[in-house]
Amino acid sequence: SPLLNIDHLSASVDGTPLLHDINLAVGARETHVIMGPNGAGKSTLGHLIMGDSTYDISAGHITFDGQDVTDLSPDKRSRAGIFLSFQAPVEIPGVPVSSFLRAAAAGREGLDLKGKQFRKHVRALADQLDMDPTYLDRELGVGFSGGEKKKLEMLQLLLLRPKLAILDETDSGLDVDALGVVSRGIEAYRTSTEGALVVITHNTRILERLDVDRVHVMVRGRLVAEGDASLIAEIDEHGFERFEREAELAL
């Protein structure tokens, strides 16, 4: 059975349906991409996989690694090996990035390292991402640019080595420096773990260097098309119009 299996999932917020009959299977080591126009429900799906209680599940199930996680808290899902990139980390003045990372790793198998060892480990990860090590001393979230938030996500990803990483890129553009960190982070995750990857993105530049197994197209809260990596080039050229038209006809 696949690592992640979403079975006929529908969800709403405050009585408003947002996702309709989502079916998605992601196997270990696979790379999936979810694309779709703004407001389609891509981020909502990511949050639901992570267990965000803002949303009500009206039908369906999510199983992960052989376990029904539909009713599991985000923390338990995280410990089970699901990771969702968070675009907006909290701001905690006075708390350095390294301390935050240490807290995130606390109680995790193989990561409960002593202070000095932990710092060494995290510094190696920053090095792998070609990041300035002084970033680790920055106050958490304070004055972070979009790119600096991304760097934190990539450090968390390589530190926690989840079984499934969901990376939700925002629509806002990343600068070249941040794009480099994201690309290196994804590549390092890909080559150093057995983990599966779900990338939610508009940024086909990030996808260029990825070996993509499946592409899913989301329109108006539905997954309306699925294909191989060639779908990315098609969307790049023609946008989502074809899918939006088909979705309209299907209603």
Report the interface residues with ligand ADP, using CB under 6 A.
13, 18, 36, 38-44, 54
In angstroms, give the least distance from the CB of 245 to ligand ADP.
18
The one-letter amino acid code at 124 reads A
Specify the residue, 25 or 229, whose C-beta has the smaller distance to Mg ion: 25
Specify the residue, 34 or 160, whose C-beta has the smaller distance to ligand ADP: 34
In angstroms, give the least distance from the CB of 59 to ligand ADP.
17
Residues 17-56, one symbol each (x = binds Mg ion by CB under 5 A, - = not), give: --------x----------------xx-------------
- Residue 159 binds which one of ligand ADP, Mg ion, none, with CB within 5 to 8 A depending on kind? none
3-state per-residue secondary structure call for the chain: CCCEEEEEEEEEECCEEEEEEEEEEECCCCEEEEECCCCCCHHHHHHHHHCCCCCEEEEEEEEECCEECCCCCHHHHHHHCEEECCCCCCCEEEEEHHHHHHHHHCCCCCCCCCHHHHHHHHHHHHHHCCCCHHHHHCEECCCCCHHHHHHHHHHHHHHHCCCEEEEECCCCCCCHHHHHHHHHHHHHHHHHCCCEEEEECCCHHHHHCCCCCEEEEEECCEEEEEECCHHHHHHHHHCCHHHHHHHHHHC
- Residue 44 binds which one of Mg ion, ligand ADP, none, with CB within 5 to 8 A depending on kind? ligand ADP
Specify the residue, 17 or 133, whose C-beta has the smaller distance to ligand ADP: 17
In angstroms, give the least distance from the CB of 94 to Mg ion.
31
- Residue 39 binds which one of ligand ADP, Mg ion, none, with CB within 5 to 8 A depending on kind? ligand ADP
- Residue 227 binds which one of ligand ADP, Mg ion, none, with CB within 5 to 8 A depending on kind? none
Contact call for residues 81 and 164 (beta carbons, < 8 A): yes
- Residue 25 binds which one of Mg ion, ligand ADP, none, with CB within 5 to 8 A depending on kind? Mg ion
Contacts with 128 (C-beta within 8 Å, 6 or more apart), sequence order: 158, 184, 188
In angstroms, give the least distance from the CB of 17 to ligand ADP.
10
Total chain residues near Mg ion (CB under 5 A): 4
In angstroms, give the least distance from the CB of 221 to ligand ADP.
7
Contacts with 41 (C-beta within 8 Å, 6 or more apart), sequence order: 18, 19, 218, 220, 221
Specify the residue, 102 or 216, whose C-beta has the smaller distance to ligand ADP: 216
In angstroms, give the least distance from the CB of 84 to Mg ion.
12
The residues binding Mg ion (CB under 5 A) are: 25, 42-43, 214
